[in-house]
């Protein structure tokens, strides 16, 4: 195992790739298999989940690209859903729906159990929660991910990427934006307003400084709740920046928030009657799916922080379902290598044998396989879409499903 000094507590690429992030029992399993002559036993492993966190009906698979890089060069065959595929925990008949299938000698890939699950469990949880927020607010509202400050900085790019895949319009992290290929999004913090207020006696100076110094392509969004009532500060910002002000952000903390829908209504009314109809309203701070539902028809944008970054993980498991061609698995699981078929009209899924061609049990239509070749004999053969392409893929699927 690699031993070297580091500033922060994170695993390096090399440690992950060589299996050092595995649980110790997997190392012991590998050693026992090798010493007892079972190292070449070929198996089929399925990755499934029995239910989704919070009892939600669907999730968004995220992390496929990292799985491909993790298992590249390992002598296995991998079939996987496309990155960003909306999945159900179980098929139409209640069978666990596989999202990944791996074939090969178990000892060759056993050390990747822990890391592979970690790559998709956390990312899928974040993408799922973001997609549910999108489903609540609709396609025409701005959705930004602001939550990386609540999590370890080493995974900030992963949080931003998964949120973007889940259809966030923007992310706050510089490294995350670079990974995705977009400019990071953000406004100004309360600290900047306070410093300018202390130096010059007015919040207006902070907003004007932002307008003066930031390049024209950066939207002029004024944070309007630092010291005064939200509607008062919103009017001050609108009067000071005029047509250049695109949006005000209301980030009122819980102890001062009151009835947030009413606050947004007041701000909207006060801006409109004074001719500032062009100024949109963003709400942020302590939002979740339920509070967003109350604000979806009132606000123009949402900055979601901890609710996205601290999303519950999708509890995927890694189970042998076949050994040397013989169906076998643990109690509570269904044995045999399975393909997952979907009716693209009804979004009904069936987990059946790879060589079957089922028809939809609802509309009798044709069903398509969701598990596509990702790796063949250690070589990545599946197409890995760009973040933008994957995000659009998620958008299209969201149009077909209910919340």
C-alpha span between 237 and 340 (Å, rounded):
54
Cα(356)–Cα(358) distance, integer angstroms = 6
**What is the pLDDT, as a whole number, of residue 255?**
64
HSE (side-chain half, CA atoms, 13 Å) at 10: 10
Q: Are residues 302 and 173 in the same domain?
A: yes
Residue 15: both structure tokens together? 């440690």
What pLDDT is attached to residue 257? 75
Same domain, 302 and 333: no
The answer to whether residue 132 sits within a structural domain is no
Secondary structure in 3-state letters for 302-350: EEECHHHHCCCCCCCEEEEEEECCEECCCCCCCCCCCEEEECCCCCCEE
Residue carrying structure tokens 């890694």: 318
Q: What CATH number is given to the structural domain containing 382?
A: 3.20.140.10
- On whether both 302 and 319 belong to a single domain, the answer is no
Per-residue burial over 276-310, b if 16 or more Cβ lie within 10 Å, else e, is beebbbbbbbbbebebbeebeebbbbbbbbbbbbe
Tokens 């999730």 map to which residue?
59
Asked if residue 303 belongs to a domain, the reply is yes
Q: Say what the pLDDT of residue 386 is.
A: 98
Mark whether 52 and 94 lie in a shared domain.
yes
Instruction: Mark whether 80 and 31 lie in a shared domain.
Output: yes
Among 279, 309, 339, the domain boundary falls at 309
pLDDT tens digits, 312-321: 999 999 999 9
In a domain, 6, yes or no: no
> Is residue 185 domain-resident?
yes
Task: Tell me the CA distances in angstroms from 325 to 23, 321, 335, 391, one per residue in order.
Answer: 27, 10, 11, 37
1 located within any domain: no
Range of the domain at 114: 13-124+312-398
What is the number of helices (H) and of strands (E) in the chain? 15, 18
pLDDT on residue 216: 95
Residue 335 and residue 372 share a domain? yes
Domain assignment of residue 3, yes or no: no
Which of 265, 289, 309 marks a domain boundary? 309
Q: Are 361 and 341 in contact (CB under 8 A)?
A: no
Residues 6+ apart with CB under 8 A from 23: 113, 114
Q: What is the pLDDT along the chain (403 residues), one digit of tens a residue?
A: 555 678 999 999 999 999 999 999 999 999 999 999 999 999 999 999 999 999 999 999 999 999 999 999 999 999 999 999 999 999 999 999 999 999 999 999 999 999 999 999 999 999 999 999 999 999 999 999 999 999 999 999 999 999 999 999 999 999 999 999 999 999 999 999 999 999 999 999 999 999 999 999 999 999 999 999 999 999 999 999 999 999 999 998 776 778 999 999 999 999 999 999 999 999 999 999 999 999 999 999 999 999 999 999 999 999 999 999 999 999 999 999 999 999 999 999 999 999 899 999 999 999 999 999 999 999 999 999 999 999 999 999 999 999 9
Q: Which of 234-244 are b and which e, b meaning 16 or more Cβ less than 10 Å from the residue's Cβ?
A: bbbbbebbeee
Quick one: which H or E segment has residue 102? strand 100-105
Q: What is the pLDDT of residue 5?
A: 79
pLDDT at 258: 80
Which residues contact residue 208 at a Cβ distance below 8 angstroms, ignoring those fewer than 6 apart? 240, 241
For residue 288, the domain's CATH number is: 3.20.20.70
What is d(CA 403, CA 401) in angstroms, rounded to the nearest whole number? 7
Question: Do residue 211 and residue 297 come from a single domain?
Answer: yes
Domain shared by 263 and 166, yes or no: yes
Question: What total number of domains does the chain contain?
Answer: 2
Residues 98 and 201 placed together within one structural domain of the fold: no
Position 4 scores a pLDDT of: 64
The pLDDT value given to residue 332: 94
- Give the tens place of pLDDT for each residue, 6-27: 899 999 999 999 999 999 999 9
Spatial CB neighbours of 365, under 8 Å, sequence gap ≥ 6: 343, 345, 346, 359
What is the pLDDT at residue 254?
76
309, 338, 363: which is the final residue of a domain? Answer: 309
Tally Cβ neighbours within 10 Å of residue 363. Answer: 11
Residue 5 domain flag: no
Residues 6+ apart with CB under 8 A from 34: 107
Residue reference for tokens 């492993």: 45
Q: Are 195 and 273 within one domain?
A: yes
Residue 296 and residue 154 in one domain: yes
> Are 318 and 303 within one domain?
no
User: Mean pLDDT of all residues in the chain?
Assistant: 96
Looking at residue 64, its pLDDT comes to 98
- Cβ 338 vs Cβ 69: under 8 Å: no
DSSP conformation letters of 17-57: HTTTTS-HHHHHHHHHHHHTT-TT-EEEEEEE-SS-GGG-S
Packed helices 230-241 and 204-213: angle between N→C axes, nearest 10 degrees? 40
Look at residue 143 and tell me if it is in a domain: yes
């Amino acid at each position: 195992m690699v031993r070297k000094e580091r500033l922060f507590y994170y695993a390096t690429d090399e440690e992950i790739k060589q299996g050092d992030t595995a649980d110790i029992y997997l190392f012991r399993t590998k050693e026992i298999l090798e010493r007892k002559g079972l190292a070449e036993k070929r198996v089929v492993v399925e990755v499934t989940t029995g239910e989704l966190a919070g009892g939600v009906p669907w999730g968004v698979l995220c992390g496929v690209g990292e799985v491909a890089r993790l298992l590249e060069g390992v002598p296995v065959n991998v079939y996987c859903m496309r990155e960003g595929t909306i999945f159900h925990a179980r098929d139409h008949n209640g069978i666990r729906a596989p999202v990944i299938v791996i074939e090969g000698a178990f000892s060759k890939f056993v050390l990747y159990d822990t890391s592979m699950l970690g790559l998709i469990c956390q990312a899928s949880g974040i993408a799922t929660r973001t997609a549910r927020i999108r489903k609540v607010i609709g396609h025409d509202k701005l959705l930004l991910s602001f939550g990386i400050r609540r999590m370890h900085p080493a995974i900030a790019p992963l949080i931003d990427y998964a949120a973007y895949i889940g259809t966030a319009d923007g992310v706050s992290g510089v490294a995350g934006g670079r990974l995705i290929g977009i400019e990071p999004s953000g406004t100004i913090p309360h600290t900047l307003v306070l410093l300018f207020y202390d130096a010059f006696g007015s919040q207006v100076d902070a907003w004007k400084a932002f307008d003066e110094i930031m390049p024209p392509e950066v939207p002029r969004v004024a944070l309007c709740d630092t010291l005064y009532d939200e509607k008062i500060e919103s009017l001050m910002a609108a009067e000071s920046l005029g047509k250049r002000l695109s949006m005000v952000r209301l980030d009122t903390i819980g102890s001062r928030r009151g009835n947030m829908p009413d606050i947004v209504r007041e701000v909207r009314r006060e801006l409109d009657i004074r001719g500032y109809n062009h100024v949109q309203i963003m709400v942020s701070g302590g939002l979740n799916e339920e509070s967003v539902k109350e604000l979806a028809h009132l606000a123009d944008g949402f900055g979601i922080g901890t609710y996205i970054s601290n999303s519950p993980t999708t509890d995927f498991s890694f189970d042998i379902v076949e050994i040397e061609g013989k169906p076998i698995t643990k109690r509570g699981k269904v044995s045999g290598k399975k393909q997952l078929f979907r009716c693209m009209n009804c979004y009904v899924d069936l987990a059946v044998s790879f060589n079957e061609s089922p028809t939809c049990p609802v509309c009798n239509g044709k069903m398509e396989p969701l598990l596509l070749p990702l790796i063949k004999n250690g070589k990545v053969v599946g197409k890995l879409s760009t973040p933008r392409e994957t995000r659009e893929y998620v958008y299209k699927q969201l149009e077909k499903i209910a919340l």
